[in-house]
Amino acid sequence: MRVDAWTLLAEARRAFPDKWHGLTDTDTRYRQRYVDLWVTEEARATFRLRSRLISLTRRFLEARDYVEVETPILHPIPGGATAQPFVTHHNTLDVDLYLRVAPELYLKRLVAGGMERVYEIGRVFRNEGLSPRHNTEFTMLELYEAYGDYHVHMALLEELVAHLATELVGGTKLTYQERELDLTPPWRRATMSDLVEERIGVRVDITTPIDDLRSLCDEHGVPWKPDQGPGKLLLELYEKTTEASLWDPVFVIDYPAEVSPLSRPHREVQGLVERFEAIVGGRELCNGFSELTDPDDQRSRFEDQARLKASGDAEAMSVDHDYLRALEYGLPPTVGLGVGIDRLVMLLADQPNIREVILFPTLRPEVGLE
């Protein structure tokens, strides 16, 4: 080798980690991603996969005539999900604003305005606990389609996930955390009641007397409160006894209306709504439903939520009068779906922790760094 000339492009004033062992301290990896990306090939691969996944998702939806939109992140009224929002303040307007917990209500305003297929991929913020599956801010894909019902979006979602798996990991049969997982459509559809029955061996549904539900909760160590109705108890039973035991993809369908303030009533069963969640690898991947389009029904559901909020439920929604006004102009039958992009990336990148798929995850601020 013969050097004719050389120029110093950048100076490394700090020593890099061990070339062979790399970084094992996850705290350092997450705080100093600029070092992690240098030394951890797996991290580079994960974030490349994430980028491709989002790109493929856009192309998939655009091929189906979905239009990408951007809606406000600062909301005057938090809504669209039952979750605690962050509060901030606008100085000039002198009003409190909330970081969005979901884009849902704005996207449905757009459908009411004649945009029949819309989607948004964006950050939402929830002021709640952190875990290997929860980050304070995370990326949600939400999409809405006029003239469809929840069956339409179940089919779309399983097709999207199968497409992404094929493109990104070479097929729909994969291994997640050393366990086989088959994403090949069609996925099973099963009602919440049926799944709980399979698990605990007792038939429960929305008509089960509340005392029976309460004693079942006691029997399975599920805490309950006197003000919780049968729908809430059914959901609690499902979540505590059944959800984590589901592994291969399943659409859990037909949720209690009581816990679904934005969903359309079930076409056949009183007290239920046409809602579904996809559980994959024991984890919720998406949440969707035929949308509630009746402004009177929506108003009374909002009022129920507002009562919960007044009695101390920090996650309950408020009445959004402008949204009700939009419904009064007429929202066609519509289906909507929200997908946790981070969790989808975890699944396809075979990562067990959400922090592995977010470049700069939320951490306690570092002290003593000056």
Partner RNA sequence: GCGCCUCUAGCUCAACGGCAGAGCAACGGACUCUUAAUCCGCAGGUUCUGGGUUCGAAUCCCAGGGGGCGCACCA
Q: How many Cβ atoms sit within 10 Å of the Cβ of residue 81?
A: 21
Which residues between 113 and 132 bind RNA (CB under 7 A)?
A: 126, 128-129, 131-132
Q: Which residue, 103 or 117, is less far from RNA as judged by CB?
A: 103
> What strands, in cross-sheet order, belong to the sheet with 250-256?
67-68, 117-125, 137-146, 334-340, 283-290, 272-280, 250-256, 188-191
Q: Which residue, 123 or 321, is less far from RNA as judged by CB?
A: 123
DSSP 8-state class, residue 202: S
Which residues between 155 and 194 bind RNA (CB under 7 A)?
A: none
Among 133, 151, 163, 220, binds RNA (CB under 7 A): 133
Among 57, 342, 345, 357, binds RNA (CB under 7 A): 342
Nearest to 193, CA basis, from 204, 180, 202, 177? 204
Among 43, 49, 53, 83, binds RNA (CB under 7 A): 83
Among 205, 343, 345, 347, binds RNA (CB under 7 A): 343
| Minimum distance from residue 282 beta carbon to RNA (Å) | 11
# residues contacting RNA (CB under 7 A): 44
Site for RNA contains 82 (CB under 7 A) = yes
- Whole-number Å distance between alpha carbons of 232 and 261: 12
Q: Count CA within 13 A, CB hemisphere, residue 299.
A: 10
Can you read off the two tokens belonging to residue 168?
Answer: 């990104």
Per-residue b/e over 335-352, b at no fewer than 16 CB within 10 Å?
Answer: bbbbbbbbbbbbbbbbbe
Residue in this structure with the two tokens 């539900």, named with its chain if needed: 213
Can you read off the two tokens belonging to residue 98?
Answer: 């909330």
Which residues between 6 and 35 bind RNA (CB under 7 A)?
A: 14-28, 30
Q: Which residue, 80 or 148, is less far from RNA as judged by CB?
A: 80
Residue 286, strand partner residues: 278, 339
Nearest to 148, CA basis, from 332, 275, 326? 332
Which residues between 213 and 232 bind RNA (CB under 7 A)?
A: 223
- Whole-number Å distance between alpha carbons of 114 and 86: 31
| Minimum distance from residue 221 beta carbon to RNA (Å) | 8
| Contact pattern from residue 279 through residue 308 relative to RNA, giving x for each residue in contact according to CB under 7 A and a dash for the rest | -----x--x---------------------
Contact call for residues 138 and 124 (beta carbons, < 8 A): yes
Which residues between 88 and 107 bind RNA (CB under 7 A)?
A: none
| Minimum distance from residue 285 beta carbon to RNA (Å) | 8
Q: Which residue, 63 or 367, is less far from RNA as judged by CB?
A: 367
- Whole-number Å distance between alpha carbons of 139 and 122: 5
Determine the interface stretch with RNA among 62-70, 91-99, 195-203, 336-344 (rule: CB under 7 A).
336-344
Q: Using CB under 7 A, list all residues that contact RNA.
A: 1, 14-28, 30, 81-83, 126, 128-129, 131-136, 138, 223, 240, 284, 287, 315, 340, 342-343, 353-355, 363-364, 367
